[in-house]
Amino acid sequence: MAKVKDLKTSVTIADGFPGTYKYTGGTSYYLNGITGAGEIHFSVNESANSEFTKFHLSYSISGTNIGIWFVGDTRSGKPNVQSLPSFKMDQWKSWWETNQKNVENAGREFWKNVHPS
């Protein structure tokens, strides 16, 4: 296991949502290090000295983030759509049907690649 503070600050994902996700401070890794550059980002919501055990991949629909949690390299529970306005629900359902496998693949790869060498 690794501590959160020892995680890599740049992670390249080849499968699911390809690109290089860079740590931007706080808790998140954004595509090319640019917030708002894509619909996907990864967040590690644990303190720096904590063991890295979980993270979430977020999908943004017009500014509303939907957190999809992972424990280790395995998706955990249902995506958090509680803050999603009802008029965006059809867009979410369509995206989820199309991208569920991409989420799982990208999450597994993030978990594997963010650990220090």
Quick count: other Cβ atoms within 10 Å of Cβ 94?
Answer: 10
Average pLDDT, integer, range 91-95: 95
The CA-CA-CA angle for residues 13, 25, 23, to 5°, reads 15
Helix segments in 1-117, DSSP class H: 89-114
Residue 100 has pLDDT above 80, yes or no: yes
Q: What is the pTM of this model?
A: 0.93
Least trusted range by pLDDT, from 18-22, 75-79, 86-90, 113-117: 113-117
Burial class for 97, CB neighbours closer than 10 Å (0-12, 13-18, 19+): exposed
**CA 60/CA 15 separation, integer angstroms:** 19
The total number of residues written for the chain in this structure: 117
Total Cβ atoms within 10 A of residue 106: 24
Min mean pLDDT across 6-15, 30-39, 55-64 is at 30-39
Query: Which pLDDT score, from 0 to 100, does residue 109 have?
Result: 97
Question: CB-based contacts of 35: which residues, under 8 Å, 6+ apart?
Answer: 24, 28, 41
Q: Once rounded to an integer, what is the mean pLDDT over residues 26-30?
A: 92
Q: Fill in the DSSP letter of residue 33.
A: T
Q: Which residue has the higher pLDDT, 24 or 37?
A: 24
